[in-house]
Amino acid sequence: MRISTLLALVAVLTTGVAATVPAYAADPACHFLPVGDSTASLQRTQSVGVLYSENTLNTIEYLEQYHAVALNGAKNPALDSRISSAFVKSSDPTLAINWLKGSLQKEFASVTVYDSLDAVVQAHPDVVVMLDTYSRLVSKRNNQVEARFLAKFYDSNLQYIGKAEGSREQQMPSVWVHGKAAPEIAAQIDQQNGVQVDALKQFDASLKVLVTSASRGQVAAN
């Protein structure tokens, strides 16, 4: 297929979500008002209640829209399947959330997601986690790919215990440069998935350190 046609299709695929990139808000909506540091420690036997921050909800919506456009673009027979598959795979809106929940499940006895603070308070888990995520993918107007994951831990009285985090960003080469072959474009787009996975692995390492250090502290206290 002609490269001009290929680039036009890729542009259509990503321009559809260009205006919906969520703004990252480092404000009180992403955490509870400070009450004080908790004396409680994290333990593997604890129950965990998870709340999604406004950033997380906005990011999920953004990824769902991006993914929907990618799936729609994949139906176009004129678009190389390697490119469409890369867009679909790298915009999976469930990848990060499922990974993060799975990470918590490996470290704690039970993990439940709640849709409101009232629901968490009523359930009264041992630990409350505010999960804050942000992702930005490549578009016609953006070549900067970002993935940030932050989990803030609070005790049952909503006093701060600690945090686990992971982040990665990468400046992507433009896929709209004439002369690039389909495999090269697909490989560049697929790097978006690598950025997310690298940040998630960083989060896992941070979480393990947090839980392990807390467990060691508890043993030492005993």
The predicted model gives 132-153 an average pLDDT of 90
Closest CA to 55 of 160, 130, 145: 130
Helix (H) or strand (E) holding 176: none
- Residue 158: CB atoms within 10 A of its CB come to 18
pLDDT at 41: 85
pLDDT in tens, 64-105: 988 988 888 788 787 788 888 888 999 999 999 999 999 999
pLDDT at 75: 82
Q: Which two tokens stand for residue 43?
A: 């333990």
Domains of the chain, residue spans: 3-221
Query: Residues with Cβ < 8 Å from 84, sequence gap 6 or more?
Result: 13, 70, 73, 74, 76
pLDDT in tens, 120-139: 999 999 999 999 999 999 87
pTM: 0.84
What is the rounded distance in angstroms from the CA atom of residue 120 to the CA atom of residue 118? 5
pLDDT at 7: 54
pLDDT at 22: 65
The predicted model gives 5-32 an average pLDDT of 54
pLDDT at 103: 97
